[in-house]
């Protein structure tokens, strides 16, 4: 490699790489390609279209060789193993080059995540050439790329050859990755493209709870609807938990779209009320941390609650809500209502979300009558679309369709503007769960 006045001769570097790579000497070629990128870094060469074009040309020289088919009986395993080893080497070599290029592009002028064009190259090569396909890695780079249309067609191709049950995971993963980066536009575009492919019978869009969750999530994020976002996470928890990374992505989405800071919920429970009592606050937080190892978390939390009151650390509405939410999630809604009564007896005013949590807690415990009674007694002038959604859905699941219909009329009378979730999740979902698919179709 030659340098002129301290600056590298890129053209000679480029020609050398082309020659070696085209002779299938992939390892040596990739090492030279990485040296080329290192030269860009040392010379602090800014990211621009000219250098990107050179990187693209180097990328295109990496071989794309399909695995052998219809092997004979004698040497088939040996040939297959050799082919798999060679493919793995090609992918690793190409990755080392493109990852270095992405790091350089992020440092010297491209997007903070690195060049979208290079991310797309990496995703494309890994998907087409990797003998052990990792769709998580493929998706990671596609969502940082600039071609959601190609990403959609790649997912469709994957759906045609993956194991049963992986289709909806691939779709949800892609959508959530886009959203975790704040990219609602491409998330919607990707979903629309997949639906178009389904219309043309190129594939069937999976009809699973996870896909239903994604369909409800996308419109929810288009407006200020944090309570609905949280309710969706609760209602579809079993589907979301199928892949552990989904909860982390949803935490990032909540932070981006609604400003919800990601922190330990036990630490946050009392964080707003310490009012400068630092030593006491730290000690109480340490005790709350220990509750993770104890079976009766709600009981211990209430004990600490009483201790805080003894220390005259005044609770706020947020603190009450935290305790109420925890009790409801642990199936102790009656105790949660006791806390609500305490709140009402104080000078604090509960918000709509407080009432909604109680209603949702009763419904989760299949105490629909209590939820209905609480709704009529406590939420007469405080009801919102979310609290109505919860109880309408529960009534439908209990086959109490006339009462659900009356509540829907009440939503309309109160001018609460029922949204797509009211109709889709609460009514249609309830009818479907009750086995009344014909009634659901008629409602549509």
Supply the pLDDT for residue 47: 93
At residue 322, the pLDDT reads 72
Nearest-angstrom CA–CA distance, 157 and 151: 10
Q: What angle do CA 326, 327, 332 make, to 5 degrees?
A: 155
Q: Residue ranges per domain, the chain?
A: 3-67+80-215, 384-444
pLDDT recorded at residue 434:
53
The answer to whether the beta carbons of residues 145 and 151 sit under 8 Å apart is yes
pLDDT of residue 337: 84
Predicted pLDDT of residue 302: 62
Tens digit of each residue's pLDDT, the chain (444 residues): 333 334 455 444 444 444 444 445 778 888 889 999 999 999 999 999 999 999 999 999 888 777 655 555 555 667 777 778 888 888 899 999 999 999 999 999 877 889 999 999 999 999 988 888 889 999 999 999 999 999 999 999 998 888 888 899 999 999 999 999 999 999 999 999 998 888 776 667 888 999 999 999 999 998 888 888 999 999 999 999 999 899 999 999 999 898 887 654 444 444 443 334 434 443 444 444 444 433 444 555 566 666 666 666 666 666 777 777 777 777 788 888 888 888 777 767 776 667 777 877 777 777 777 777 777 665 554 455 556 666 676 676 666 777 777 776 776 666 555 444 444 444 555 555 555 555 544 544
pLDDT value at residue 269: 42
3-67+80-215 placed in CATH 3.30.1370.10: no
pLDDT at 78: 73
Give the pLDDT confidence score for residue 279 in this predicted structure: 44
């Amino acid at each position: 490699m030659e340098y002129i006045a301290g600056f590298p001769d890129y053209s000679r570097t480029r020609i050398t790489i082309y020659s070696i790579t085209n002779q299938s000497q992939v390892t040596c070629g990739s090492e030279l390609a990485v040296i080329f990128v290192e030269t860009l870094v040392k010379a602090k060469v800014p990211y621009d279209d000219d250098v990107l074009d050179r990187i693209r040309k180097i990328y295109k020289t990496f071989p794309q060789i399909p695995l052998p088919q219809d092997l004979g009986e004698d040497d088939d395993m040996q040939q297959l193993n050799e082919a798999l080893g060679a493919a793995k080497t090609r992918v690793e070599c190409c990755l080392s080059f493109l990852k270095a290029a992405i790091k350089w592009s992020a440092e010297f002028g491209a997007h903070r995540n690195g060049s979208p064009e290079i991310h797309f190259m990496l995703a494309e090569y890994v998907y087409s050439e990797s003998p052990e396909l990792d769709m998580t890695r493929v998706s990671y780079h596609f969502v940082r790329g600039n071609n959601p249309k190609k990403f959609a067609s790649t997912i469709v191709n994957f759906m045609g050859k993956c194991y049963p049950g992986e289709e909806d995971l691939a779709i949800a993963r892609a959508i959530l990755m886009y959203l975790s980066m704040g990219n609602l536009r491409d998330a919607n575009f990707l979903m629309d493209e997949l639906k178009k492919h389904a219309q043309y019978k190129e594939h069937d869009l999976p009809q699973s709870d996870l896909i239903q969750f994604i369909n409800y999530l996308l419109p929810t994020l288009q407006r200020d609807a944090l309570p609905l976002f949280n309710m969706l996470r609760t209602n579809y928890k079993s589907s979301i938990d199928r892949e552990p990374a989904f909860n982390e992505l949803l935490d990032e989405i909540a932070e981006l779209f609604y400003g919800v800071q990601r922190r330990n919920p036990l630490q946050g429970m009392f964080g707003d009320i310490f009012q400068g009592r630092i030593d006491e606050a730290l000690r109480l937080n340490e005790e709350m941390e220990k509750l993770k190892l104890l079976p009766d978390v709600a009981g211990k939390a209430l004990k600490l609650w009483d201790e805080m009151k003894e220390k005259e650390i005044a609770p706020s509405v947020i603190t009450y809500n935290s305790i109420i939410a925890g009790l409801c999630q642990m199936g102790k809604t009656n105790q949660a209502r006791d806390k609500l009564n305490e709140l009402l007896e104080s000078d604090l005013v509960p918000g709509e979300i407080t009432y909604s949590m109680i209603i949702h807690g009763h419904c989760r415990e299949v105490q629909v009558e209590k939820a209905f009674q609480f709704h009529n007694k406590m939420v007469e002038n405080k009801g919102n679309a979310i609290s109505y959604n919860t109880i309408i859905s529960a009534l439908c699941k209990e086959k109490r369709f006339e009462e659900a219909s009356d509540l829907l009329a009440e939503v309309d009378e109160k001018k609460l503007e029922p949204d797509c979730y009211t109709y889709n999740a609460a009514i249609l979902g309830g009818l479907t769960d009750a086995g009344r698919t014909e009634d659901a179709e008629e409602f549509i």
